[in-house]
């Protein structure tokens, strides 16, 4: 009863999907959560990194970390608040590594529950959670890479396992840079579809 008073209908539906995902390993529940928040997470990250390709990569990473740690989620606040914080920390880590010129990080957004979530950098050292993102990303990709069409598998392995830049991949495969970007974009779409259990797209 307390949850109904404290949270919106959307937040309560998220809690139901989380329970299904954790307790019954319901792939459709994972897919619905991703479908609900894929665009807002992507657009928030894009504002931070100002690069479409990097934003798409970081969106995948954010969901990878969230789904891997879903069993640790506490219903003290909304799923969207928790997910956006994961995505923000992940993006901050990326920005630090790439030393990008970006928007000021001294800003905030409002979650579904109306809670203001601050985006800031507490210190210059990566915390243990940030350091595990890389391995979690690889684990997520490994789950799906063998189910991708063969022509995408090498691209995905070079990008996510060996962490090649787009330029390095183009050189390795002797392919135009635009083709590499387009095919990686399609590979990411197919991985999203796999999470949503839309295997017929492949």
pLDDT in tens, 10-22: 999 999 999 998 8
In this prediction the pTM is 0.61
pLDDT for res 199: 41
Q: How far is CA 127 from CA 116, 132, 187, in A?
A: 23, 9, 30
* CB contact at 8 A, 201 and 193: yes
pLDDT for res 88: 93
- The answer for residues whose C-beta is within 8 angstroms of residue 172's C-beta and 6 or more apart is 158, 164
pLDDT for res 18: 93
Helices 128-145 and 52-68 cross at an angle (nearest 10°) of 100
CA distance linking residue 101 with residue 121, whole number of Å: 15
pLDDT for res 52: 85
CA distance linking residue 1 with residue 4, whole number of Å: 5
* CB contact at 8 A, 128 and 69: no
From first to last of the 202 residues of the chain, give the pLDDT tens digit. Answer: 455 557 889 999 999 999 998 888 777 888 888 889 988 999 999 999 888 888 888 888 888 888 888 889 988 889 999 999 999 998 998 888 776 444 444 445 555 556 555 544 444 444 455 455 556 556 666 666 777 788 888 888 888 777 788 899 999 989 898 888 888 888 887 877 766 654 444 4
- The answer for residues whose C-beta is within 8 angstroms of residue 67's C-beta and 6 or more apart is 21, 30, 140
In the chain the domains, ranked by start, together with CATH numbers, are 7-128 (1.10.1740.10), 146-202 (1.10.10.10)
């Amino acid at each position: 009863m307390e949850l109904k008073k404290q949270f919106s209908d959307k937040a309560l539906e998220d809690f139901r999907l989380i329970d299904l995902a954790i307790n019954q390993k319901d792939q459709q529940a994972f897919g619905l959560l991703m479908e609900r928040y894929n665009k807002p997470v992507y657009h928030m990250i894009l504002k931070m990194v100002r690069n479409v390709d990097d934003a798409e990569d970081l969106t995948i990473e954010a969901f990878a970390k969230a789904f891997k740690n879903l069993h640790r989620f506490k219903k003290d606040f909304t799923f969207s608040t928790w997910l956006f914080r994961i995505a923000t920390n992940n993006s901050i880590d990326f920005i630090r590594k790439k030393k990008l010129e970006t928007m000021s990080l001294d800003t905030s957004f409002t979650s579904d529950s109306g809670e203001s979530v601050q985006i800031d950098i507490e210190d210059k050292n990566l915390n243990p959670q940030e350091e595990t993102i890389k391995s979690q990303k690889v684990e997520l990709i490994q789950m799906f890479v063998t189910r991708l069409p063969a022509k995408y598998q090498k691209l995905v392995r070079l990008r996510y396992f060996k962490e090649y830049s787009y330029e390095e991949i183009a050189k390795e495969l002797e392919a135009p840079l635009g083709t590499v970007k387009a095919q990686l974009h399609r590979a990411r779409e197919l991985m999203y579809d796999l999470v949503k259990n839309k295997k017929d797209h492949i």
